[in-house]
Amino acid sequence: MAQTFYNDLILETDGNVYSPREDSFLLANNLQVKKGEKVLEIGTGSGLIAILCARKGAEVVATDLNEHAIKCAKKNAEGNKVKVDFREGDLLAPLKNGEKFDLIIFNPPYLPRETKYSDRPIDLSYNSSETLEKFLEQYRDFLKENGRAVIVNSTLSGVQAEGEIIAEKKLAFEKIFVIQLS
């Protein structure tokens, strides 16, 4: 069990779930969410971003393909006393017919798949830049008119995502970006 702190939030994760780090914090520090907005977070992991959005008064749905992440994020939301509708499943598949959002957020597993791929749940957090490509093809159908989508991307992902760079950070082997998609 690991604990991560973000301001006054405490997030607990185990070895099956992505513990928040630089990319998560860059996104968290640059969240622009208004009270009453309908927000969707894809790939919630520990739940950090979904919890922050709920704290700002948004109505939040959060998904993850990793069942361990959904359990963990539920616990973290309860521990931090916020309400989030967590749903397990692939990208936008857990959404109901006609559900639309003001804001969709995704910090994807952007590192290209390693040759030695394993089936561990935690590898969903690291491997498969094609997940981001699939998201980019699908997300518009779930945005309200004038809705917006924000993602994290990295120079390592090999995926081109057009939009406005809201924040960026240079790390040891990559540069990461928070991008509002156009």
Ligand X SMILES: C[S@@+](CC[C@H](N)C(=O)[O-])C[C@H]1O[C@@H](n2cnc3c(N)ncnc32)[C@H](O)[C@@H]1O
Residues at the contact surface with ligand X, assessed by CB under 6 A: 18, 20, 24, 27, 42-46, 48-49, 63-66, 69, 90-91, 107-109, 124-125, 131
Could you say which DSSP state residue 115 is in? S
Smallest separation, CB 17 to ligand X (Å) = 7
**Nearer CB in complex with ligand X: 118/146:** 118
- 3-class SS of residue 26: helix
**Nearer CB in complex with ligand X: 80/125:** 125
Rounded Cα distance, 177 and 169, in Å: 7
Number of Cα atoms under 13 Å in the Cβ half of residue 160: 1
**Nearer CB in complex with ligand X: 137/145:** 137
Smallest separation, CB 47 to ligand X (Å) = 8
Residue nearest to ligand X (CB): 43
Residues in contact with 105: Cβ distance below 8 Å, sequence separation at least 6, in sequence order: 27, 31, 39, 40, 41, 42, 49, 53, 149, 150, 151
**Nearer CB in complex with ligand X: 90/164:** 90
**Nearer CB in complex with ligand X: 37/157:** 157
* Helix runs in 3-140, H state only: 22-29, 48-55, 67-79, 130-138
Smallest separation, CB 62 to ligand X (Å) = 8
Smallest separation, CB 70 to ligand X (Å) = 9
Smallest separation, CB 50 to ligand X (Å) = 8
Which of these, 178, 115, 129, lies nearest to 158 by C-alpha position? 129
